[in-house]
Structure 1
């Protein structure tokens, strides 16, 4: 094995990236004789990113702090590309790790490619095969795959996507999704600390005027760009109708701060006794609430992967998904963004115990919590050469 430690630069910018990369960062740092880990954040999401970093105990070595009010996608990509290029020039890493499909991921991978640095793409191979759905994520992940040396695919389906695009089999490793590693790490961290359990419980109880630990409630998230406009209005129409039809069921919606989501949600859903619009939650609070909910309604990707590990059915309010495995396994149902379909999907789970259990008891297709171990095995193999 080479005596030289491999210098790994890990770059991310959003809360989901921070959550999914946190266990990998911790595991790599347990091997200080083999790897020097440099963590760089772009702060594409500032406040929400900081919450996740704090919870997982990660202090970035470099904080580019690039978030600006009203920033365009083009402006963000340009800023990240230029800034990360400078970081690469200064740090001279041996390899670069990026995650998923954000603008930070795209621009960072481009900077690494231009500098000749080998790139590892964590959560590679997800596809809708529709370039505008989701926008710009589908474009981002396809481009990053093309310039990555190592594609860490969560599932066999993701691997098949890459093989069908003529990627070499040797460049692909099926790992499971690191979000499951992060979920188990988070729950273990919470459960081992009674003070944290009390703090989370008190915080949630201050925001929710019902017994969320025993009463049925749906947990809702919605923020996708493709749902701006009519999509979010249809979602709100469904939630309001369900709230009227099921007065004993609560609907908890931590509302994204983007005005394209916040304003219509506030306008259409305020004033219902059993609809609770709350501020975005920190990761530990959200995980704990997800653990206690009855069902999840979401347009998020990560939640589709996490919730099945907690035995929670997920209804996805999108017209197409890059995560078909969960649909095939039956842990997730794609209901689209039309209010009638959302209402039907929720009613079926509320009214039918068998329909509910059929989804709740399925195996999670996204892994066993050992994804980081499999990624590190590949990187150690590189180090040994």
Structure 2
């Protein structure tokens, strides 16, 4: 385990919340800013200047002290703690991913967040057999001491949660803690908070939008040792979770199905691509046992690389000219621009703060 730093000061927690709630600051940008400037207060002071250098016309909204204080107070009333990576109740594996949330809203029996987790996901319109199998798997994993983590969606997710309510299950929400989707799972969420927990990186009041679900999925896979897909058709949304799990170096498990069952097409494909087939919980437990014995390492992340804001205008122009609507990898950009990596990273950060750059998975960037 990596050492847990002492808890943040109240002032630093407030400033970190202001920073992540400001326009154009995502988890990766947040990490770069914090590492470069040392604390959130300094980063907040520099935001307008960096966005201007990136070509922002107006000033992007910076979350005010009052708004952040109001959010913290509302979280307190709701029983939500906002925790940073390395603090108690921040899942240790989640802290190691590239785009870990700088502050995670957690509530419930939060000790469950410190136990080993296995994700179970799958089709929203699952078959009766699929729902039954997901429940059996979740029960058996719970009996073996694992916490089942999923996305509270209809179908496989809810079957996995319901079967592990007493052993401990974690629901990852796509919206704020007070905007449960689908609404008919509010009772399930209330029940699972006794022995389990709910987590979200979104502010209270945030109604989940389509693009929030893939963001949520990276948390489901990131917090877990491995992801089990029970049923998935060819173009199933749960395959996004699998892609993220693979990018994060997590184990991928798939439940095989009949080749003539369309609901098994996605899972059978995953097995052909190298996912571990699962017919019982022991298949998962045996595969993750060696991983659990290894210490959790914070890898060197791309954000650990330095930034150099002393940019020559011609260097900046060359970097910008290489960017367009088609995603390009950071490595290609550095090579083609012939500019030091620290300069390229700084220019990309400025463009992002100006609202002009989009980051994709796998280190790809494009202009908006």
Verify same fold: TM over 0.5.
no
